[in-house]
């Protein structure tokens, strides 16, 4: 049974700041608490190491769409099955909204429990909050 999550955060930073921080996939572990390591295989493919409650996972994902300043989409090609997209929305000259949508296939008891109890959404909200703080600090830096 597939699961999905959709989370968003409003950021007191222009889209350009949010985009600049998110476009470097290898930087994602800085603000995604469950992502331990991302290593580039080539320009569109990355090896991931994640640590989720009760499970450490490795997988390979490829970028399926990159529209600068607007969206980054990916899907796995090996390992854990999931796909996602991050979109960037201009709210004003100084504010933006970042939306994260992920479709995934929970495996095993712990992952099913995480999906059923909304732990996955809680983790996504936490990570988006970390990203928000990072982007707002970056926007405030002259």
Comparison of pLDDT for 15 and 105, the residue scoring more: 15
Q: What is the pLDDT of residues 86-123, one digit of tens each?
A: 999 999 999 999 999 988 775 654 454 444 445 667 77
Is 28 within 8 Å of 35 (Cβ atoms)?
Answer: yes
H helix or E strand, kind and range, residue 131: helix 119-140
What pTM did the predictor assign? Answer: 0.83
Q: What is the pLDDT of residues 35-76, one digit of tens each?
A: 898 999 999 999 988 887 667 888 899 999 999 999 999 999
- Tokens 């290898």 belong to which residue? 26
Q: What is the pLDDT of residue 109?
A: 45
């Amino acid at each position: 049974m597939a699961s999905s999550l959709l989370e968003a955060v409003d950021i007191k930073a222009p889209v350009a700041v949010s985009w600049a921080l998110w476009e470097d996939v290898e930087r994602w572990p800085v603000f995604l608490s469950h992502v331990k390591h991302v290593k580039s295989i080539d320009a569109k493919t990355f090896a991931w190491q994640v640590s989720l409650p009760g499970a450490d996972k490795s997988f390979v994902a490829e970028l399926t769409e990159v529209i600068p300043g607007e969206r980054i989409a990916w899907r796995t090609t090996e390992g854990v099955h999931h796909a996602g997209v991050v979109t960037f929305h201009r709210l004003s000259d100084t504010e933006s909204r970042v939306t994260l949508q992920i479709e995934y296939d929970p495996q095993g008891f712990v992952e099913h429990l995480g999906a059923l109890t909304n732990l996955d959404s809680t983790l996504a909200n936490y990570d988006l909050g970390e990203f928000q703080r990072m982007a707002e600090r970056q926007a405030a830096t002259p």
